[in-house]
Amino acid sequence: MSAPHVGVLALQGDTREHLAALREAGAEASTVRRLRELETVDALVIPGGESTTMSHLLREFGLLEPLRARLAGGMPAYGSCAGMILLATEIMDAGSVGREATPLKAIDMTVRRNAFGRQVDSFEDDIEFTGLDKPVHAVFIRAPWVERVGQDVEVLGEAGGHIVAVRQGKMIATSFHPEMTGDRRIHKLFVELL
């Protein structure tokens, strides 16, 4: 069986790190900036970055509705930080009118943007992660947290009493950045779902 082809949304954010992590996890990985590239991948990673900027660029590049359709049709996805925000069904503190983060409605959850604070409040922590044998060293940068999960959403990790990692079917989201640590277990977990 050939390796799954995973795209990394490359409109803004830490694309290169996710591409490297996916390749180390056994996937074929490429960038996604255009509709034809989205149509060729088996799954998608939505990286960290700035969720309002990414939403704006999804609309500008004509990807918002096609991406929503692929996700609704069952395409697996993994979102880190801003990616978690975008995969939600509801976003709290979504931004100013005309410049707000737009939910893709792929995981039944409500996410609060920048919940842990501003850039200066960024931190690292070791967290227990369901399905992994040892804690994950998590890097939180202007990170969101999950306020509410639906009944089909499994909580995979918490930090400071807040939900920071979830799974629903073949969708995973983390409020932290595993691609920045060299620990490829979360990417491997995602690739194994495919």
Among all residues, which ones are annotated catalytic? 81, 177, 179
Q: Identify the residue whose tokens are 């959850």.
A: 109
Query: Which residues are paired to 95 by β-bridges?
Result: 100
**What is the rounded CA–CA span in Å between residue 129 and residue 150?**
19
Closest CA relative to residue 176, chosen from 14, 10, 1, 42: 14
Distance of CA 117 to the CA centre of its chain: 19
**What is the rounded CA–CA span in Å between residue 188 and residue 106?**
21
* Six-digit token string for 124: 């690292």
Q: Tell me the three state secondary structure of residue 146.
A: strand
Give the DSSP H or E segment for 185.
Answer: helix 185-193
